[in-house]
Amino acid sequence: MKPLEPSLQCPLPDLTATLRLAGAIAPCMRPGFLIYLSGELGAGKTSFTRALLGTLGHEGKVKSPTFALMEPYNLEKFELLHFDFYRLSEPEAWRDAGFEESFDGTIAVVIEWPEMAGDTLPVPDLWLHFDWMQADAGPERLVRLAAGTDRGRACLSALPDAVSCSAAHSPGSGCAAR
């Protein structure tokens, strides 16, 4: 799985901004849509997933799948699987756990810590890298977004209108393995 170069970046100063971003990405989602979420511990990956699921109509809790590896959600229009590979013992372990059919195009998938699976995963539609940047008032949250498919690119092209994103300008800050 080659790193994808981010084309957009969006500030995420608070959870409202995360919610707004998720609200703009949620309409892109359909069966087979694949999103990777990278970034340090606590960078905001689960919060984004929670906002995404809420926008897609899920009303219950959203547990971090750090220990279960995967939490399934039966949404109105499709099924969504939320993975967290932080504790994957080795790159192939998700296959050994029987999750190969999650990628058959019938289920939407969100994966935190995809880099723990090495190069065993398919190219995602969107790859979000949650990060901090240094600002006058201290560190500020932001997310860089890359698209790996035409439908991912179509999704990103509609974003700047919906949220306060701008062209990514950080050479070498690709959404790559850490």
Ligand X SMILES: Nc1ncnc2c1ncn2[C@@H]1O[C@H](COP(=O)(O)OP(=O)(O)OP(=O)(O)O)[C@@H](O)[C@H]1O
Residue numbers at the binding site for ligand X (CB under 6 A):
12, 14-15, 17-18, 39, 41-47, 64, 66, 112, 130, 141
Query: For the sheet containing 126-135, what is the strand order?
Result: 70-74, 79-84, 108-112, 34-38, 126-135, 138-147, 8-11, 166-167
Tell me phi and psi for residue 45, to 5 degrees: -70, -45
> By CB under 5 A, what part of segment 40-59 binds Mg ion?
45-46
CB of 46 to Mg ion, least distance (A): 3
Helix (H) or strand (E) holding 22: helix 15-25
Interacting span for Mg ion (CB under 5 A) from 64-72, 99-107, 131-139, 164-172: 64-72
CB of 143 to ligand X, least distance (A): 8
In the complex with ligand X, the residue whose CB is nearer, 9 or 47, is 47
Collapse the DSSP code of 49 into the 3-class scheme (helix H, G, I; strand E, B; otherwise coil) and give the result: helix
Helix (H) or strand (E) holding 126: strand 126-135
Q: For residues 76 and 95, give the distance between their C-alpha atoms in angstroms, rounded to a whole number.
A: 27
In the complex with ligand X, the residue whose CB is nearer, 73 or 130, is 130
CB of 42 to ligand X, least distance (A): 4
Determine if 38 is a binding residue for Mg ion (CB under 5 A). Answer: no
Cβ-proximal residues to 115 (8 Å cutoff; 6+ apart), any chain: 38, 85, 176, 177, 178
In the complex with ligand X, the residue whose CB is nearer, 139 or 157, is 139
CB of 112 to Mg ion, least distance (A): 5
**Among candidates 15, 23, 80, which has minimal Cα distance to 44?**
15
In the complex with ligand X, the residue whose CB is nearer, 11 or 32, is 11
In the complex with ligand X, the residue whose CB is nearer, 23 or 32, is 23
| Site residues, Mg ion (CB under 5 A) | 45-46, 64, 112
